[in-house]
Amino acid sequence: MAKFVQHILVINAQLPSARLFCQVAGQAGYSVTAYLTDEPATAAADSGVRDLLERDQLAALHVGQNAVVFFWEGSLCHPRAAGRYLAGLRNVVYAMHRVGLTRLVVTHTGRNWRSWLVFKAWCRRVGGPVADQVQALLQASNLRYLWVTAGAVRDGAYRTRTTVTNGPAPGTGQVNRLDLVDFLLQSLYRDRLDGTAVHVAS
């Protein structure tokens, strides 16, 4: 079966899960462009992503076969971090519209086993719940998107049991890093970008 997506732009590619994603996607035969930022908290919060999308080969041929994957790790408790996260997403959505891209995967994961605290941030008000703002932004984007959250990402034995539940869960749960990458690639391969939010755990 032919892939729906041929080329993937990975934003915040310096993050551990993003690095693994780039590696596995390349091994699976995808063409991957990695966009690295110096500091995750400022990821995509400037015009850099817009410029990249507009000049990159993604803007050339076979636009329908390309996708953008936006990685984020860490807490959104601080208003500044939440603001940069939302600003980054807005820039990505804007740039995708400019060049005609339609497929977007957004991930938000914790950094360690205590990262369930990260998801309590969804309930704090930063001009309204952050999760609600992300959901509203994605729904208004008219993009084919999938929003994936996980309580904490860990390394370890592959092929633990992976569960997927609906919604950006404000609870606990860990996910094996390779399980997460596998889930993202399977979603792209089968074109399961159906405008939903899911929580992944192993």
pLDDT at 170: 47
In the chain the domains, ranked by start, together with CATH numbers, are 7-201 (3.40.50.720)
pLDDT at 127: 44
| Identity of residue 96 | M
The side-by-side arrangement of strands in the sheet containing 103-109 is 31-35, 7-11, 66-70, 103-109, 144-150, 196-201, 163-166
Cα of 133 vs its chain's centroid, Å: 15
pLDDT at 105: 94
Closest CA to 92 of 144, 153, 51, 34: 51
Going residue by residue through the chain (202 aa), what tens digit of pLDDT does each one get?
Answer: 456 788 898 988 888 889 999 999 999 999 898 887 765 444 444 556 666 666 665 555 456 678 999 988 776 666 677 777 788 888 888 888 877 788 999 988 876 544 444 445 544 444 456 677 888 889 899 999 998 877 667 776 555 566 666 655 544 567 788 888 999 999 999 888 988 888 777 7
pTM, whole model, 2 decimals?
0.82
pLDDT at 25: 95
DSSP 8-class letter at 47: T
